[in-house]
């Protein structure tokens, strides 16, 4: 709630104005039954038609003003709720972009998507409803009770007898609501995750004829969400019938007691009619309060989930510290680095290597050997458990994350192309000139196929670049990495979809055009790294072998096996 109040605070003025209007309109409504009572019991018996018309017009004017005030207050409440939710959604998206990888893994992408969409929607509804009904309903309910005491204290006491039971019902239901709606949102996260996976993998699902299997998987999470919704709504749905029962029970008591008192001459017809009007106002208000409790429970459950993200530390909060210096003669150095994702089993163990400026390191190994993890640690996506990583003799932990990553050009294993022009995907919001962009495309072997596109660099890519082939996508991604003229290049399996001729041309371009760029090339193909200054062979997170291609092909069994499996030992460009 503390974080939520920081978003509400700038709007306190507008909220106060809206609540003032709402309160004024509510008090106006409270006077209508009292005026009706006076007309029936005092003015009508006098037979003065002019006086009756006058007070009828007064009632009409008050009703119209109350209507106008409520409309103004509701519009104001909607505006405030919309703006607050927009600010929260903006900050939530900003937080999501700067979350550390550990935090992103902990929340999961589907959960973050759910918090940005359905949770902010529930919060928006709660903020709006609390302004619309959170003031009016209690004022009408309490004010109506006070007015009934003014009209007839005895009848008011009859009705008041059921109020404590209403409060108990609301309290018992509301205390469990937040917890149960939190479980609903978690079930929604799981469903979003399955939908997201199916949307991204629809081609492979169709290719492998697994549509039926995925339908069953979705049915499972959908059923789970339905069950959680039913459980929560069934528990909260008890509020309305219970409140109705108690209200009508009180109403029956009031009618019986009122009729008895009129027969005895202890009350008047106008008072009974006014009392019944107040009763209806009170009953509608209490039903609104019950609905508000349901919405409040769902909204607070969503608010809690949103604030979990907003309150966590991100890379923006990173405070750089001083660490011992490394070897200043080395552009890049890993020194006895050990790391584990889950802190149970090490994914990397005692990894050490050095690269001087302009040198190239190749990394090869079986799937799961830790190749991509090396690059993730170098980019400081995760904190290492032991050891140190240096850039030009400076520990990477002493860099601000943005300062560190600006020095790299990166092509990740599962990189992303956005739904935008090819040009914007290469420039990626950076100050890259036309000449630099065209040069990068040429070096990445992308220029040839780009010239064949209908609009060349203005060609619009679909989501994830689905309207390009796998090799074309990789060459666009390489162009993006080259265009920034980075000091370091990290290429993670970036040529796997290229034919051997294009791959060889790419390697020649790297050697000729980027002699001063320090590179790490992660590859599955031996041919992609055979000309590197040094090659690391990783096996289950440890270094199985290191050296140049000529040495490893003679002395390292794992490297020999990889080479033999690919080319039968005969490696040609």
User: How far is the CA of 251 from the CAs of 213, 259, 272, 285, in angstroms?
Assistant: 56, 12, 12, 15
Q: What is the rounded distance in angstroms from the CA atom of residue 119 to the CA atom of residue 307?
A: 11
| pLDDT confidence of residue 338 | 92
SS3 (DSSP) at 344: coil
DSSP per residue, 247-315: HHHHHHHHHHHHHHHHHTTSS-HHHHHHHHHHHHHHHHHHHHHHHHHHHHHHHHHHHHHHHHHHTS--G
Query: Position of tokens 């479980």?
Result: 183
Q: Are 238 and 11 in contact (CB under 8 A)?
A: no
**For 36-84, how does the pLDDT look when each residue is reduced to its tens digit (9 = 90+)?**
777 777 777 777 788 778 888 888 888 888 888 888 888 888 888 889 9
Q: What is the rounded distance in angstroms from the CA atom of residue 481 to the CA atom of residue 461?
A: 18
SS3 (DSSP) at 392: coil
H or E stretch at 143:
helix 136-151
Query: Position of tokens 């050095």?
Result: 354
* Of residues 176 and 529, more confidently modeled: 529
Average model confidence (pLDDT) across the chain: 81
- Take residue 443 and report the two structure tokens written for it: 């070096």
H or E stretch at 333:
strand 332-339
Residue 262 reports pLDDT greater than 80: no
Which structural domains are found in the chain, ordered by start? 2-311 (1.20.1560.10), 323-407+488-493+518-568 (3.40.50.300)
Pairing outcome for strands 542-547 and 534-539: antiparallel
DSSP 8-state assignment for residue 366: S
DSSP per residue, 506-532: HHHHHHHH-TT-EEEEE-S-GGGTTTS
* Of residues 287 and 95, more confidently modeled: 95
| pLDDT confidence of residue 200 | 66
- Take residue 531 and report the two structure tokens written for it: 């000309």
User: How far is the CA of 318 from the CAs of 104, 264, 303, 335, in angstroms?
Assistant: 16, 79, 25, 23
DSSP 8-state assignment for residue 9: G
Determine what percent of the chain is predicted with pLDDT higher than 90.
Answer: 1
Q: What is the rounded distance in angstroms from the CA atom of residue 143 to the CA atom of residue 285?
A: 11
Pairing outcome for strands 386-391 and 332-339: antiparallel
H or E stretch at 335:
strand 332-339
Q: What is the rounded distance in angstroms from the CA atom of residue 370 to the CA atom of residue 492?
A: 12
Residue 277 reports pLDDT greater than 70: yes
Residue 568 reports pLDDT greater than 60: no
Query: Position of tokens 């956005």?
Result: 418
Average pLDDT for residues 118-134, to the nearest whole number?
83
Quickly state the pLDDT bin for 163 (edges 50, 70, 90): confident
Residue 569 reports pLDDT greater than 70: no
Q: What is the rounded distance in angstroms from the CA atom of residue 397 to the CA atom of residue 167?
A: 56
DSSP 8-state assignment for residue 493: S
- Take residue 565 and report the two structure tokens written for it: 């499996």
């Amino acid at each position: 709630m503390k974080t939520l109040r920081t978003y509400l605070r700038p709007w306190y003025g507008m909220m106060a104005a809206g609540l003032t209007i709402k309160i004024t309109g509510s008090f106006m409504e409270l006077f209508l039954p009292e005026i009706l009572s006076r007309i029936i019991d005092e003015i009508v018996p006098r037979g003065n038609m002019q006086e009756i018309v006058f007070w009828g017009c007064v009632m009409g004017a008050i009703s119209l003003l109350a209507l106008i005030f409520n409309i103004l207050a509701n519009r104001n409440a909607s505006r405030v709720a919309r703006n607050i939710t927009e600010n929260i959604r903006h900050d939530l998206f900003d937080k999501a972009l700067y979350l550390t990888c550990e935090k992103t893994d902990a929340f999961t992408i589907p959960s973050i998507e759910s918090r940005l969409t359905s949770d902010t929607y529930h919060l928006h509804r709660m903020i709006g409803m609390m302004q619309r009904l959170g003031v009016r309903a209690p004022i009408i309910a309490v004010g109506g009770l006070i007015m009934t005491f003014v009209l007839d204290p005895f009848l008011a006491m009859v009705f008041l007898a059921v109020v404590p039971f209403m409060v108990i019902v609301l309290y018992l239901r509301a205390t469990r609501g937040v917890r149960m709606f939190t479980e609903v949102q978690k079930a929604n996260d799981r469903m979003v995750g399955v939908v997201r996976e199916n949307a991204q993998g629809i081609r492979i699902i169709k290719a492998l004829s697994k549509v039926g299997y995925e339908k069953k998987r979705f049915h499972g999470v959908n059923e789970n969400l339905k069950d959680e919704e039913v459980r929560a709504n069934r528990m909260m749905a008890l509020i309305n019938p219970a409140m109705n029962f108690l209200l009508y029970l009180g109403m029956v008591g009031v009618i019986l007691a009122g009729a008895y008192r009129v027969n005895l001459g202890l009350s008047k017809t106008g008072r009974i009619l006014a009392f019944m009007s107040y009763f209806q106002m009170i009953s509608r208000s209490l039903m609104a309060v019950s609905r508000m409790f349901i919405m409040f429970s769902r909204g607070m459950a969503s608010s809690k989930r949103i604030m979990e993200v907003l309150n966590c530390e991100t890379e923006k909060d990173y405070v750089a510290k001083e660490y011992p210096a490394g070897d200043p003669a080395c552009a890049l150095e890993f020194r006895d680095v050990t790391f584990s994702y889950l802190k149970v089993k090490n994914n990397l163990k005692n990894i050490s290597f050095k690269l001087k400026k302009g040198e190239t390191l190749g990394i090869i190994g079986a799937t799961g050997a830790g190749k991509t993890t090396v690059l993730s640690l170098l980019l400081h996506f995760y904190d290492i458990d032991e050891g140190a990583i240096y850039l030009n003799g400076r520990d990477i932990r002493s860099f601000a994350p943005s300062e560190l990553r600006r020095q790299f050009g990166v092509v990740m294993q599962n990189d992303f192309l956005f739904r935008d022009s090819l040009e914007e995907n290469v420039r990626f919001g950076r100050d890259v000139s036309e000449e630099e962009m065209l040069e990068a495309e040429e070096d990445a072997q992308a220029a040839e196929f780009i010239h064949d596109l209908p609009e060349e660099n203005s060609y619009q890519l679909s989501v994830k670049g689905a309207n390009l082939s796998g090799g074309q996508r990789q060459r666009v991604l390489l162009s993006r990495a080259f265009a920034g003229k980075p000091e370091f290049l990290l290429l993670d399996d970036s040529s796997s979809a290229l034919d051997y001729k294009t791959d060889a041309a790419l390697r020649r371009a790297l050697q000729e055009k980027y002699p001063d760029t320090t590179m790490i090339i992660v590859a599955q193909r031996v041919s992609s790294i055979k000309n590197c200054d040094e090659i690391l062979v990783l096996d289950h997170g440890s270094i199985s072998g290191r050296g140049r291609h000529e040495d490893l092909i003679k002395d390292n069994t794992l490297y020999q096996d990889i080479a033999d499996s690919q080319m039968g030992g005969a490696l040609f460009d």
